[in-house]
Structure 1
Amino acid sequence: MTARVAITGLGSLSALGPDIAAHLAGLRAGTVGIGPTQGVDVTSMKTKISAEVRGFAPEAHFEPRQLGLIDRTSQFAVVVARQALRDAGPALEGVARHRAGAIFAASVGFHAVDDSYHKLYAEKAPRPHPFTVPRAMPSGQVSHVTMDLGIHGPSFSIASACSSASHSIGTAFHMIRSGMLDVAVAGGAESQITFGMLKSWEALRVLAAEGCRPFSKDRGGLVIGEGGGAVVLENMDRAIARGATIHAEMIGFGMSADGMDITAPDMASAAASMRFALEDAGVKPEAVDYVSAHGTATVLNDKTETAALRQVFGDHLAKLPVSSSKSQYGHTMNASGALDCVTTVLALREGFLPPTMGYREFDPDCDIDCVPNAARTAPIETAISSSFAFGGLNAVLALRRYNG
């Protein structure tokens, strides 16, 4: 069985705002959600900026008894999964108990870990919080999503660093296309804005001091963000039969591994994952109208990604818009593929090109149309969303505008 796969629900939470409406408005306006870090004391750090989710009130979403059991990352996951399912309407109604699943990015509950270390070593407490382990476990977010939404089918977490959410969405896509599932909620969430993780990223020397400037010659590194994104994927025939609003169609998924270096990307492997996504979708490179790039704004990543794009698209790259929304909501790590997928779906649905903000200077190593500093109206029929993670784990999603 090979079924078409519809995207019928969207959810987002990021530095651009608390929901899809805010996310879309921010993308169109070129809003930059990066600013001085407020949730962590960064006095001792060189990097004092991040892309925080401001104004998030856990008590508005969870009962008091739940708050001791669920880390900030899992809170984000549940919130965006609820949004996506609400947007999808009665997607779970009439589905057999084990025919709906949830696949989410794996992510450590870093706030739970940081809090425990602080209690033990700063406050000299005799023991950490008794629920530190379930709050911190990497599969926590998908467990909480299944419990919150009442999902009983195949559900699990995927760990592939910054590609985790894209791998999760792509896996859910394949499970529906093959007939294993009728409906899936997929995505990812992450919050690494803690003292320990910010210091760790600073030690790696990849953080920008001033801002995120993908593909600009003066780019200085990535900016840590937090948030989450989720999509509801559904068998197309079923979605049409129940009268669902279909935001876009997922048509392909490609994967590869560099097998070379834990931090440095490999051009050939990145190119392979894009080609595999297009082959899976049955789409020729010249039919692609937009690329949502991984675009972290490190010198090596952007140069390598541009070379990979050149290998895949050849002369077509000269007229192919390629932008990085991490310039607006930061690098949300294991959640980034989900937010980038949501961004790509909105671009297809609404007919516009999300911008690359902060762009200042042309780089001959990144000779692409990166949609600099302002969104543009454009008819987009086919797009890809790329994730190229530390450790060389690559995942690319192919999507198409739904025209009925």
Structure 2
Amino acid sequence: MELKRVVVTGIGAVTPLGNNKTDYWNALAKGVSGAAPITRFDTEKFRTKFACEVKDFNVLDFIDRKEARKMDLNSHYGMVASDEAITDAGLDLDKVNKDRIGVIWGSGIGGFTTFQEEVVGFANGDGTPRFNPFFVPKMILDITPGLISIKYGFRGPNFATVSACASSNNALSDAFNYIRLGKANAIITGGSEASVIESGIGGFNALKALSERNDDPTTASRPYDKDRDGFVLGEGSGALVLEELEHAKARGAKIYAEVLGAGMSADAYHITAPHPEGEGIVIVLNEAISDAQLKVEDIDYINTHGTSTPLGDSGEVKAIQKVLGEHAYNINISSTKSMTGHLLGAAGAIESIATLMTIDQGIIPPTINHFTDDPEIDPKLNLTFNEAQKRDVNVAISNTFGFGGHNTSIVFGKYNG
């Protein structure tokens, strides 16, 4: 069968750098860090005392108080980002066939705040099970796509994807496949996460995964730097409207970029550590490039997973060099996690937005906080250190990888009619 072409027609974002797509992108292009001391709880006894929190966000500016109380913060972020994306796409809800519009959403943990609050409340009580009647629906990962569909009446494919930090890129991949197979006209996709809480920071501290650079949070996320010491936890949401090309053209929609291909693989190696030689990443990059029917020489930019962890960063770079060969020296590479922190299950969504915006705007966002070269990383690679670079980008890739060895890559291309 002939596969449909899929394009991106809407974007929405709630991030540590800004609570809409414009503020988010402008901060990325300027190389702004979203890291700061945590404001949400007392960090005195925690080894890490900072994170990339969403700032100046009041859900009541967007959602009625009665409805907001039925949702976890994770869903608040997702609802606001998806609303912006739907508005940005210019979808006329009175004219579109809602049976053919779906919602596919990613989250690594879901209603983490709700789970912590309810369990702590029970543990501190007298043993009487006084749980919030919305405890379960607020907590489950699939509730956000459900809420989005209920608000807008979208009756197409609706589910959540869970693959740790690869979750929202898996959601994008599924949305892409459903549309190109002709099973939907448009799908609202992306992801959300709200893990900057005691159990989130404490849990990742116990894994020794977080940076502990408490004296200077804004420089703590240091992808590819010799002195990187772990990732910085972030939170927020990214939403994209993926749409079948002819459907988008028929209604005169703005097209940011085309989705050209997607790849998925597993490391089959370790529950948290990446494969040191990036074997699963080699597979996923080859799958994505092949699916897009491209040659490695077509690639202009890769937005890497680049978490600022010692093993992960070097393994990803090695994999990129294995796949691209000499062409690896001709492309731009950058990690926007140096600015946003790591949004876990929402990382793929906001990083895919950053990736397609490089195509739309001709600007490569930087990898900030580079101070010392890592001898394990080839210095001839253009890792876009510290300052944005202008470049005409025709093809770009977004990588995300998750605990459990889950790997996803999405290929975006300039729409040429």
> TM (normalized to structure 2)?
0.94
Q: How far apart are the structure 2 equivalents of 1:11 and 1:90? A: 14
Q: How far apart are the structure 1 equivalents of 2:95 and 2:343? A: 35
- TM superposition shift of 1:366: 2.1
Please tell me the residue identity of whatever aligns with 1:80: A
- TM superposition shift of 1:147: 1.2
Alignment of 1:2-401 (within 5 A): 2-90=3-91, 92-106=93-107, 107-122=109-124, 126=128, 127-210=130-213, 211-266=220-275, 267-367=278-378, 368-401=381-414
Q: How far apart are the structure 1 equivalents of 2:66 and 2:11? A: 28
Q: Which runs of 5+ in 2 are unaligned?
A: 214-219
Structure 2 CA distance for partners of 1:16 and 1:124, relative to 1, 3 Å: farther
Q: How far apart are the structure 1 equivalents of 2:327 and 2:94? A: 44
Q: How far apart are the structure 2 equivalents of 1:88 and 1:97? A: 15
CA contact (8 A) 1:52 1:225 kept: yes
- TM superposition shift of 1:95: 3.4
Structure 2 CA distance for partners of 1:233 and 1:294, relative to 1, 3 Å: same
- TM superposition shift of 1:130: 2.1
> TM (normalized to structure 1)?
0.97
Q: How far apart are the structure 2 equivalents of 1:212 and 1:203? A: 18
Aligned residue-pair number = 404
1:289-314 per-position Cα deviation (integer Å, ceiling 9, x unaligned): 00000000100000110111111111
Structure 1 runs, 4 residues or longer, greater than 6 Å off: none
Structure 2 CA distance for partners of 1:287 and 1:207, relative to 1, 3 Å: same
Structure 2 CA distance for partners of 1:295 and 1:46, relative to 1, 3 Å: same
SS in 1 for 2:29: helix
Q: How far apart are the structure 1 equivalents of 2:365 and 2:182? A: 33
RMSD: 1.3
CA contact (8 A) 1:5 1:251 kept: yes
Q: How far apart are the structure 1 equivalents of 2:159 and 2:377? A: 37
After superposing the two structures, state which structure 1 stretch, 390-399 or 110-119, moved more: 110-119
Structure 2 CA distance for partners of 1:362 and 1:180, relative to 1, 3 Å: same
CA contact (8 A) 2:98 2:153 kept: no
- TM superposition shift of 1:118: 2.8
Q: How far apart are the structure 2 equivalents of 1:387 and 1:207? A: 18
Structure 2 CA distance for partners of 1:282 and 1:91, relative to 1, 3 Å: farther
Please tell me the residue identity of whatever aligns with 2:281: A
Q: How far apart are the structure 2 equivalents of 1:352 and 1:245? A: 19
CA contact (8 A) 1:119 1:125 kept: no
Q: How far apart are the structure 2 equivalents of 1:68 and 1:94? A: 31
Please tell me the residue identity of whatever aligns with 2:314: K
Q: How far apart are the structure 1 equivalents of 2:162 and 2:199? A: 20
Q: How far apart are the structure 2 equivalents of 1:319 and 1:215? A: 18
Structure 2 CA distance for partners of 1:372 and 1:125, relative to 1, 3 Å: farther
Q: How far apart are the structure 2 equivalents of 1:156 and 1:41? A: 36
Please tell me the residue identity of whatever aligns with 1:81: S
After superposing the two structures, state which structure 1 stretch, 108-117 or 276-285, moved more: 108-117
- TM superposition shift of 1:7: 0.3
1:351-396 per-position Cα deviation (integer Å, ceiling 9, x unaligned): 0111001111111322232111111111111000001111011110
SS in 1 for 2:166: helix
CA contact (8 A) 1:91 1:183 kept: no
